[in-house]
Structure 1
C-alpha cells in the first residue's frame, strides 16, 4: 500500500519536568479549543480533508452506508415512565435524528409532546432527559446542543404542549427532582464559566438550587453547597413521601458518597448527616413505611439494601439490613407497588428478584432468556411498572408489569428488518495473563465459516465500574451480517463482578485491563475464530485509552484499531472539564507513584518508533467537552510523525458532536460506515454488494 502523506503538524519545544523525568509535549498547542484557535481549526480542516478523502475511496464504503441506513430504519422506543396516570416515552420512526417524546393516558391516543428534530437544522440539538411532575401535568426537560455536557432546563405543559418561560442554564451532571406539590424542582448547576472557557475549564463549585415554576433563574434559591470544597458535586432527590430532600455529595467517578437529609417540612431544621466520610456507596432508592431505603456496598462489595427511619431521632443514624449481599452483583434496585425489584447481574446477565419491604423473598420476574433487563421504575404506591429487555440479537422490547397479579404484557415491540434467529451468541471464559478468568461474549451469523478465521471486531472498556451487558446495536448487527464476528470482553475495571472486579482494574492495577484485552485477542486467535491479520479492536472514551495502550504494547496482535474519543494523554487529563473526577480510576499525575504508573501506559507518550503498527482510525468531535478532543489531536499527530510502518494512521473529527450523547442518527450512520469500511479493508472482509 502506498504510504499516506499526512498534513504537516507543527512541533514545539514544549517539555515538562515530572519527578526528575523530562516529558516532551510537542503538540500541546493542539489542546486549544478549535472554536477559539485558528491554527487548531486549520489543522482540523486539513486532517479531515485527508481522512475523508481516504475513507470515501475505500471499497464497499457506499454499500455499507446504504445497508446500514436500511437496517436502522425501523421503529424504536425508549423505556416509559408514568406519573399521575400519564405515560411518557420516546419514539423514533426509523431514521429521525432524535427521538420524539410522546405522552398518553387511558383516555387518549399517544401524541407528540416534544420533537427535538425541529430544534435545529442539523439535528444536533437533543432532548437529553425529561422529568414529569408528580401529577404528570408538567415536564422539566434538558436540552443538549452539539453533544456538549452543558444542558439547559426548560418546562412544558403536558396537557397543552405549551413550553413555559422557565429557562435554566449552566447545568451539568445533574438530574431534576420535583417538589411533591409540583410547585417547582431541585437541580444542580455550576457557576457560569468565563468567556471562552465553557468547553475546557475545570468544573468546580456545583450547588443545589430550587426553581419555582414561573420565576426567572436569578430568583432560584441555593439550597445546599460547600463553597469550602469546590471540588464536591451534588445530586438532590425529593423523597417519595415529599417530606425530605436527599442530597448526595460526590467528588469523583468512584461510587463513594456522603448523604445529607434536609427536612422539607421544617425549613428551620438543620441538615442531618446520614452518611459521612466518602468511604462507601449509599444510593437512595425510595421511602416507604416510614423508612428511607438505600443501596449500599459497605461490607457488601456486590451490594445490599438497607434502610433507616425517615425521621431520624436523637443520636446516631440507625441502619437496618433489608436484603443482604448475594452471589450476583446488585446492579439496580427500585421500590414499586410495595415490592422491592432487585436487578442482579449473574455472570453478566440480568436476573430480577422480588422482595417484600422487610426483605422476604417473593419470587422473580421471568425474562425471555440471557440478556439485559432495565427499568422497573415508579413510586412505592404505583400499581404497575415498565421494563425493557434486549440482547445482542434482540432489539429492546418494552414490557408492562402488573405488580399485584404479576401479569406481563408487551407495551411496545419493534419490528426490525432482520431475523434475530439468524445469529448466535455464546459466552466463554478465557484466562488473562495472571490466570484470572475473564468473560467474553462472541456473536456471529449462524453457519459462519470459521475454518480460516473470520474478520473479527473485539470491543472493550474496562473502567469506572461500568458493566458491559448483552445489548442490541444496529451497527454490531451489520458487522455480523457482512460476515464478521463480534466479541465483547468483560475486562477488569468494570463492575461485572462487583467492587473487587473494579478495583482489580484501576489505579496501580490498570495494567490488568490491558492484559485482559490482549488475552482476549490471543484467545480469539488461538481458538481459530480470528487471525492476527483479521482482528480489529474498538473502544470509546476510557475504551479509547484501552485501544491506544494495547496497540502500543502489542502492535503485532491487531490488524486495525478504532480508538474513539479516547483519554490519550494520561499526564494532563485532569486539567480539563470533568477530567479531575477520573483520578479515582487513573490516579493523580501530581503524585509521583501515580505519575510513573500513568506515564508507563499513556498512549500519547508510548508510541514506539521502529515497530510496525496496525492501521488506526482515531475518532473524536470538535465539541466533546467530556474528553476534550486535544487528547485525540495530539495522539494522532504523534502517530503520523512516528516511524511505525505504512499502514494508515488517520483521525476523523466530527463537527457539532460531543462525547456521544445526543448525536444525530445521520452522523452516527456516516461515522460507522467510515469505521466499518476502514476495518473491513484492513481485515479482509469482503463487503457484500448492495
Structure 2
C-alpha cells in the first residue's frame, strides 16, 4: 500500500447528522442557538460577525496583514506534496490564487523525482463546481490498484464532512456515465473489484449509529441499485461506526471491515478468498497500520503479553486466514522519551515516523529471513518536524517533508538505505536569523515535565505578550511547523506575532501522543484536568522565566483545543488575557447530544451519567461561567456548516458572556466545515482578524476590547 494513512476510520470519519432538538436542556435559555440554520440564530450570528469585522478590520495594519497572508498562502512556490503514488504516476492537489479549491493532477514518477514534474490536470475542482453550481471541496480519491484507472472521487458541498462519491475514469478523464454514485452522506467506500464496492453509508432509517456514522457494510455490484446491495456485516446502534477499507499486500488486495465499538476500541475482520469475513487476532485496543510481506502490522495502545504499549507487532496473514493466528511478533518498541507517531509501508519496507522528545526521526525497517527486523535511520535533518507524506511502493521509497519554526519545509525522497534526496524546498518567507527558538520544560502540578517550544525575536527582553497554542487530546501530537503556518489554518499569524516582538509557544500538554499511549491516558476522562494543569504550568513557567506576565498571555486551540482554551479562560482568568477558541466544544453537558459528540465519550465521559458528570462538570466552560467574574475577552471562530462539532457551542458561550457583561469577538464562517474555511481567502481573513485581536487585547494597540 502507499503511505497515505486511511485506517482508523472511527477516528477520522465525519460527524453525525444535524441534531437540532433541544431536549435535555430545559434550563438553558440559549438552546435556540443550536438551531444551526434557524432564522433567529443566523441573525444573531450575522450581527456578531458584523460587529467583530467592524471592530477589528478597521484597525491599522489589518488589510496589509490580510493581503500578506493571502500572498503567502497562494504563493506558487509552495511544495507540491505527492498524494497517492499510482504505479508510475504521482498525484497532487494544488491550490493557488487561480485555483482556490484545487487542481487534482498527476505527473510521472520519473519527472517528479527529477525535480521537474510534468503535471497533467485530472480534475479542476473550481471549474467543476462552477459548471455544476456546487461549492465543491476536495475530499480525495481512491483509485483501484494496480491499473489505477477507475477512481472513487469524494467531493464535499462547502467543506462539510458529508460527501458525494462518484466514479471517475482516469483514461477518459471523465466521470463514468451510469457509474457508481453515492448521494451526500457520511460514507466510507472501497473497491472490492472493478465491478464491486464495499459500502458503508446512510441506507435509510435505522442504518446509522447513535453517533451518526454508518453501522452497516454492504456489497454493491455494478448495474444494481444501491438499495439492493447485500449486507455483509452489521453493527449495533450504540457502536461508533462500521466501515470497510483495503490494504495492498504486494500485488494482493486485502479487504477489511472494522467495527468501532468506542472511539478507542474496535473489532477487525479480514475478507477471505471467498469473501467471508474472518476475525483477526488484534486486541480491541490495537490499531491496524498496514500489511508488509504477508504480515498484518498493528500498533498497541495497551500492553500485550510482554510487549509494552506503544509498540508495533505483526501477525502472519496466512495464519489469520487459516484461523490459527497465535501470539504476534514484536516488530518495534520505542525507547524512553520516544513515541511512534505515524507508520506506512511500501512493498518491502516498514516506515516509522518517531518522536524523540517531540523531535522527528524516520526509520526504515526490513523483515529478514530469520524473522528479525533490520533498522535504518533516515539521513534527515535533526531537531525538526517530519511529516510522512506518501510512498512509492515498487521503489521502496518514502516521501517526507521536514520543517521547523524557522526552517521552511523541504520535501525529501527517502530510500530504504536511509539516503535522502531533497526534491523541493520552500523559499524562506522571512529572515530566520532574526529569531530564536528554544525548547523548555515546565513542571506541572503533579510533577510531570511538560515540553514546549518557544519562538521569539532576538534581542527582545521580557516580559512580552505571549500566545500559547495547544491541543491536548485524542492522541494527537503537536509538533512545530514553519511560522507562516502556525497555528492551525491561521496563516502567518505566529510570524506576525513574533515579528511584533512578542512570544509564540507551542505546548505539548498531556492528552496528545507526544510520548505515546501513557501521555494520552494521563488526561483521559476523569484525568482531564491534568491537560489543563499542564497548560497553566507552561504559562506560569514563562512568567517565572521573565518571558511574559500574567494577563498578557493568550491561549489558542481548535476543536478539542477549543475546549482547552475555553477551560483556561474560565478557570484561570487571572493568568490569561485572551483566548482564541476555534470550532470548540464548550457545553460539555450537551456535547454528547450534538452532532458527533456521542462518539467522543471514550475521551471525555458520558455527561448523562452522574458519576461522569461529576468530573466533566468540574471543567465544562459553559456551565463554569459566573456572574460578576471578569473574563478575558475571547475570540470565537467556527463554521455554520461544521457537521462534526456543533456551532452552537461557540454561539451559546458568546451569548452567556454577553449576558454577564463580558467582552468577546465572534466570527462564524458560512462554509468550510470543521476545518473552518474552504479556501485560502477565508484563512487569510482569519489570520488578519486574529492578529488585530491579539494586538487589541494584549498590547493595547487597539481601542480596547468591545463587546459586539
* TM bucket, shorter chain: 0.7 to 0.9
- 2:72 is paired with a residue whose SS is helix
1:118 aligned onto 2:127 = yes
Deviations 1:390-442 (A, max 9, x none): 22223332222343x55432333333433444433211111011211001011
TM-score, normalised to structure 2, is: 0.85
Select 2:139's aligned residue among 128, 138, 152: 128
Match of 1:149 among 161, 170, 173: 161
- Deviation of 1:42 (Å): 1.9
Q: Which of 637, 646, 659 is matched with 1:628 structurally?
A: 646
Classify 1:142/1:307 alpha carbon distance in 2 versus 1 (closer, same or farther; 3 Å): same
The equivalent residue for 2:379 is: 366
CA 1:470–1:247 in 2, change beyond 3 Å: closer, same or farther? same
Cα pair distance change 1:291/1:369, threshold 3 Å? closer
Q: Which residue of 2 aligns with 1:189?
A: 201
Q: Which residue of 1 aligns with 2:686?
A: 671
Which residue is equivalent to 2:411? 398
Match of 1:58 in 2: 59
Pair 1:655 & 2:658 matched: no
CA drift at 1:220: 4.6
Q: Distance in 1 between matches of 2:68 and 2:528?
A: 39
Listed one character per residue, the Cα deviations across residues 275-319 of structure 1 (whole Å, up to 9, x for unaligned) are 4773x113141142x333333334122222322333536555223
Query: Cα distance, 1:558 vs. partner?
Result: 1.5
SS at match of 1:435: coil
1:596 and 1:643 mapped to 2: Cα distance? 28
Q: Secondary structure at the match of 1:555?
A: coil
For 1:201-600, what aligned pairs fall within 5 Å after superposition?
202-211=211-220, 217-218=226-227, 220-227=229-236, 231-240=240-249, 241-242=251-252, 244-254=254-264, 256-263=265-272, 265-267=273-275, 270-275=276-281, 278=284, 280-288=285-293, 290-299=294-303, 300-312=308-320, 316-327=324-335, 328-357=338-367, 358-375=371-388, 377-378=390-391, 381-403=394-416, 406-445=418-457, 447-451=458-462, 453-472=463-482, 473=485, 474-475=491-492, 476-600=494-618
- Say if 1:552 and 1:603, in contact at 8 Å, map to a contact too: yes
The equivalent residue for 1:88 is 91
Indicate whether 1:172 and 2:181 are aligned: no
Distance 1:424 1:184, change over 3 A: farther
Match of 2:8 in 1: none
- 8 Å contact 2:642–2:676 — kept in the other structure? no
Q: Which runs of 5+ in 2 are unaligned?
A: 1-21, 112-116, 486-490, 703-708
Aligned to 1:20: none
Shift of 1:635: 0.6
Per-residue Cα deviation, 1:570-600 (whole angstroms, up to 9, x for no partner): 0111112211011011100121111111112
What secondary structure is seen at the aligned counterpart in 2 of 1:50?
A: helix
Asked if 2 retains the 8 angstrom alpha-carbon contact of 1:86 and 1:136, the reply is no
The C-alpha deviation readout for 1:352-385, integer Å capped at 9, x for no partner, is 2222223422321111222222226447644433
Show CA shifts across 1:461-506 (max 9, x none): 1111111112231422233233332101111111111111111112
Q: Which residue does the alignment assign to 1:8?
A: none
Q: TM-score, normalised on structure 1?
A: 0.87
Number of aligned pairs? 649
- Secondary structure of the structure 1 residue equivalent to 2:252: coil
Is this contact kept in 1: 2:210–2:237, CA < 8 A?
Answer: no
Structure 1 residue 628 displacement after superposition: 0.8
Structure 1 residues 277, 356: CA separation in 2 closer, same or farther (over 3 Å shift)? closer
Query: What SS does the corresponding residue of 2:341 show, helix, strand or coil?
Result: strand
C-alpha distance in structure 2 between counterparts of 1:540 and 1:188, whole Å: 29
Distance 2:35 2:205 in 1: 16
Using the TM superposition, give the Cα deviation of residue 553 of structure 1 relative to its aligned residue in structure 2, in angstroms: 0.8
- In 2, the alpha carbon distance for the partners of 1:51 and 1:127 equals 30
Q: 1:534 to 1:665 in 2, by over 3 A?
A: same
CA distance in 2 between counterparts of 1:86 and 1:123 reads 29
Is the contact made by 1:355 and 1:362 (CA closer than 8 Å) also made in structure 2? yes
Which digits, 9 at most, give the CA deviation of each residue in 1:65-98, with x for residues without a partner? Answer: 1322233342322333212211111223467423
CA distance in 2, matches of 1:16, 1:559: 34
In the alignment, the residues of structure 1 paired with residue 435 and residue 101 of structure 2 have an alpha-carbon distance, to the nearest angstrom, of 28
Secondary structure at 2:614 match in 1: helix
Rounded to whole Å, the distance in 2 between the matches of 1:292 and 1:332 is 16
Is the contact between residue 400 and residue 411 of structure 2 (CA under 8 Å) also seen in structure 1?
yes
SS in 2 for 1:477: helix
Q: CA deviation at 1:653?
A: 1.4
* Separation in structure 1 between the aligned mates of residue 581 and residue 232 of structure 2, nearest angstrom: 41
Partner in structure 2 of residue 9 of structure 1: none
- Mapped partners of 1:287, 1:675: distance in 2: 46
> Cα deviation per residue 1:616-643 (whole Å; 9 max; x = unaligned)?
1111111111111111111110011114
Q: Is the 8 A contact 1:238 1:245 kept in 2?
A: yes
**Preserved contact between residue 638 and residue 668 of structure 2 (Cα < 8 Å):** yes
From 14, 26, 31, the equivalent of 1:28 is 31
**1:104 matches 2:107:** yes
Deviates more, 1:213-222 or 1:612-621: 213-222
Q: Which moved more, 1:508-517 or 1:116-125?
A: 116-125
**Contact 2:211-2:596 within 8 A present in 1 as well:** yes
